[in-house]
Amino acid sequence: MGVGSEELGANPFQVTRAYVCREASRLVPTNTRGLPEGFYRSDLLSVACVLDRRSADEIINPTARKSGPAPTAESVAGRVFHQDDILILDERVLKGAYVPLSYDEGYPTLPDGRPFWSQLDFEPPESYAAFRAYLDQGTKGHRELFRLADRKDIQMLVQGVKMQDAALLDPSLVPKLHLLEAPEVPTTRDPLDPPEEELQTVQVERMLPGDVSLSLSDAKGKKLQAVTAELREWFLMYHWGLRAQAHDLFFLQSTQSRRQRLGLALDDNTYVKSTTLMKKLMGYMDGDDIMVPGSKNDDGIARFWAEMTPKTAIDMMEKLQRMQRVALGLPAASPALPSDQGLPLTEQQRLEQKSGRGALPAEADDEETGMSDDERMKRIAALVAAARSRKSAAS
């Protein structure tokens, strides 16, 4: 095993803690959902756990790396590093910084049971507040750190952290940092006054010495870059990407589950209502005055049958025939196929059945019964007269 960074110098491989956290996160195994099985605490990682820094070519092709002793201060000082280099980290440090996640509840949870997207024990309140704003971006579109850095509240969070750090190093720096903040401009302005941006620039330049005066646009650009860089460090050190992915998966699953429950409740309510209405309709047809008052006429005959016209009776009979055929698993408007009669289907008949070409028009019902229109009308009229006579005899 190589030597640690503390033996080579403070930061011989020219890395940051965020860089170390990014490389450590790549070593975490993932499950079938693409979510991590755990994470590394950034407060327990430092640049001192870096044993070596190698290019991707040296990792893929070990022969490309020159054989020799472990890195020394002289050999490391003369090396040229690249942004896409891969870090070799101390496994002992990684093992001590690893925190496993649990999926017993269907989503990743911390050892204390809180969701993975909750505030981490080692996460500052400012970073967690910015992370919550980062999560909210996903409800309105894509998440982007650059757009997040342009928000005033996020800039205040980041500046507050930096001012605290500066106060710890040198309390005398705090007043100078406040000088870089542009003063507020009154909301009520005279139309003859110069534009707001020019006024702010003049005020800032008056407050700063002449040799360090900056234009408002340059100061805003540098300020935005600094805030974005700080957010990127928070993104890597506190696993924003993985936590946002876990949050989105849980949100989608909970939303789908809720929609399914609402759908089942709606289906159940629809079934109950339709069953109740069906009973009332049958009571009206049977002339049940108790269930449906007024379902009988003055002669004591059910209004449904007494007021039914021949045309309505014919339409009702056709619909009932279709309902009977569907209940038996037959086509509603065509005769039974050979397979329904117990006969084997030919290949051509199977193809026609799948494509729907085997269905016949509605007129096939008339041909199947073998009756003409006049015969059908006489039969319906006889059925209606018989029903009326039975109702009269019953009353």
pLDDT in tens, 42-100: 999 988 888 888 776 666 665 545 555 555 555 555 565 656 678 888 899 999 999 99
CB 2 within 8 A of CB 71: yes
- For the CA atoms of 259, 261, 265, 270, the dihedral, rounded to the nearest 10 degrees, stands at 50
Q: What is the mean pLDDT of residues 137-162?
A: 84
Q: At what angle do helices 216-237 and 125-137 cross, to 10 degrees?
A: 100
Q: What is the DSSP string of 170-206?
A: -TTHHHHHHHTSPPP--SS--TTSPPHHHHHHHHHHH
pLDDT of residue 240: 94
Is pLDDT of 356 > 70? no
pLDDT in tens, 138-148: 888 889 988 89
pTM: 0.54
The per-residue pLDDT of the chain, averaged, comes to: 74
Question: In the structure, what pLDDT confidence band is assigned to residue 165 with cuts at 50, 70 and 90?
Answer: low
CB 295 within 8 A of CB 385: no
Higher pLDDT, 339 or 47: 47
* Alpha helices (H) in the chain, listed in sequence order: 5-8, 17-25, 56-60, 73-77, 91-97, 125-137, 145-149, 152-169, 173-179, 196-207, 216-237, 240-286, 303-306, 310-327, 347-355, 364-369, 373-394
**How crowded is residue 26: how many other Cβ atoms within 10 Å of its Cβ?**
8
Rounded Cα–Cα distance for residues 126 and 390 (Å): 85
pLDDT of residue 98: 95
Q: What is the DSSP string of 124-139?
A: -HHHHHHHHHHHHHTT
User: Could you tell me the residue ranges of all domains in the chain?
Assistant: 1-100, 297-394
* Structure tokens, 67: 């054989």
Q: Reduced to 3 states, what is the DSSP secondary structure of residue 242? A: helix
pLDDT in tens, 342-354: 555 565 555 555 5
**How crowded is residue 334: how many other Cβ atoms within 10 Å of its Cβ?**
16
